[in-house]
Amino acid sequence: MSEIENIQDTHKEDLSFDMNPQALLDEDVDGIQDTEPAKDLDVGIDENIDKPEQKTLRLGDHLIQLGLIDEDQLNVALYDKKQHPGKMMGEILVDLGFVTAEQLSAALAKSSGFESFDPSNTVIDPDMLEYIDKPIAIKHQVLPVAFSKDKTEVLVAMADPYNVMAIDSLQQLLPRGVNVRPLVCTPVVLSNAIDAAYGYATSVEGILKELAGGSIDMEGLAEGADYSHPIVRLVNALVFNGVKSGASDLHFEPEENFIRVRYRHDGILHSAYILHKEYWGAIAQRLKIISGMNIADKLMPQDGRFGINVAGREADFRVSCLPTVHGENIVLRVLDKSAGIVPLEKLGFSPHNLDLIRKAQSRPEGIIIVTGPTGSGKTTSLYSMLNEANTVDVNIMTLEDPVEYSLPMIRQASVREGGGLSFGDGVKSLLRQDPDIIFIGEVRDETTAEQALKAAMTGHQVYTTLHTNDCFGAIPRLRDLNLKPGMLAGAIIASFAQRLVRVLCRKCKEPHVATEEECHLLGIPNDNPPELFTAKGCPACRNTGYEGRTAVVEILFLDDDLNDVIAEDGHKTQLRDLAIKKGFKSMRDDSIIKLLDGVTSIEAVTKVIDFSDRM
């Protein structure tokens, strides 16, 4: 029998372990055989008191079950452990190259029930480092990462999430009512992350001071670049600040002598930073590298994408790079996974419109069209509708350009016009996949329109978008794509038009009695003027007076009478007049309801809804 086989046989019992991550790392092949399993974790432990001999797996067997190592690699690690009794098993496995530190952290997290911490894919909130200084972080082996979205928890990276003394010490340093939520990682990863977080400037201002007067190493900007590189930290800080402030888009705009960084909040762009032009080459290169773009091509537009953990939230970024006279202009669209799918009830739909949406979705076949300009919330509304229809007995398939949010159980496919699968060809393929519901990102051409109509006429429910000004414009737009009136009649369930208006900050909005001009604008007699609200501004809303946006919608639900107008190729004015007689409420009507309810202001509404005929 070989020495390795002898070790394996001698220490077979020692491969069981409790699920304390620190115990996993410290496990000894000569360890105590009667270690009790942790009571707080369920990993298939039989806690029946009649079976006290029941053991849980130790680290080696657990990694084998996960498929990260095999028996031979475990035997080698056990042999190495015998030769170096002071080393931890996890450290040995990493040193031998059998697993990476990240894989080990993930295994520890999975076994303990906590989330794992990956410093290479996480942006740490620099404000958190003010609560816990470096000596305390080193003493307790902890690293504060970020507040949770609701500010009730602080995410803290820990090698041992069961270290009660460390958690109690942190609790005393944090604001009252804020709890610690551990993230698990290995001691080596944590130690390096602590040194990186506390050893370098992490705020935009601090990094710019560090950069002042120094040369920039362009070679150090590659994927996985070291945290010590100031441009890596600068890009992280700019992205972090944008997401933390609730921005939907981040604009990096080179001018002749400087770089302007702007964030879009609630549909409005605000200038965030002005940077020196000498940094732009490195910043642009770093953004292109992490987005998967070609850094050598500076003359053609490019699209890319990347994902990181920002402030404890998984966020994806859709990146667009466009060459301009002053350099490459780069825009990041923030796709916050934690806020991607919102229930229909929380999108701001009035009870009237919510009833019409439910009614439209109850129809088993036909086309539901959502119209509006870019940035009007079409995709958000459609995702919410699809999510409501998403059950185990329904097959939902989508064609998108690109896929913005991943939806469970829904088969989502990306299309790329001019370089791969098109919408038209994609619909043909989808129809062979036995779908019940189809989502087509946008009807852009005659082929896609024909395929969408074909799908609706063969018993499928189809969701799609069009770029038109109102819900009535969807019909003439489809007619322009050579769809016949007789085929459209009866095939369209409903046409929505949508805009997003800014919501007044609840903490600082100010009431006032409507003036005569405002009453005229709203179509209300001025003998009994209503109470309206205006924006003021406070720290809670960044002194803008607004916090978030809500949907203003009009929905044309097509019944037999309206379908008759379409079949006769009637003008959209005829369609509108008949719909109004049947109780149709326009976007203007919906916005007036929100004005009277104190949700928004006249200033915000008139920027997105046409009231010019009353001015």
Condensed to tens digits (0 to 9), the pLDDT of residues 266-296 reads 888 999 999 999 889 899 999 999 999 999 9
pLDDT higher than 60, residue 303: yes
Average pLDDT, stretch 314-332? Answer: 92
Average pLDDT, stretch 219-238? Answer: 75
In which band, very low, low, confident or very high, does the pLDDT at 9 lie, cut at 50, 70 and 90?
Answer: very low
Q: How many CA atoms lie within 13 A of 390 on its CB side?
A: 20
pLDDT higher than 60, residue 154: yes
Q: Could you tell me the pTM of the whole model?
A: 0.69
C-alpha span between 143 and 133 (Å, rounded): 10
Handedness of CA 176, 178, 184, 186 (dihedral sign): negative
More confident residue, 127 or 479: 479
Q: Whose structure tokens read 């809303």?
A: 541
Average pLDDT, stretch 136-141? Answer: 84
**Domains, the chain, ordered by start:** 3-112 (no CATH), 115-199 (3.30.300.160), 208-338 (3.30.450.90), 344-503+549-596 (3.40.50.300)
Instruction: Please give the pLDDT value at position 553.
Output: 95
In which band, very low, low, confident or very high, does the pLDDT at 24 lie, cut at 50, 70 and 90?
Answer: very low
Condensed to tens digits (0 to 9), the pLDDT of residues 38-55 reads 333 333 333 333 433 434
pLDDT higher than 80, residue 160: no
Task: Kindly calculate the radius of gyration of the chain based on its CA atoms and give it in whole angstroms.
Answer: 29
Handedness of CA 515, 520, 521, 523 (dihedral sign): positive
Sheet bearing 122-123, strands edge to edge = 122-123, 302-310, 313-324, 327-336, 249-254, 258-265, 268-276
| Choice among 177-186, 220-229, 334-343, 418-427 with the minimum mean pLDDT | 220-229
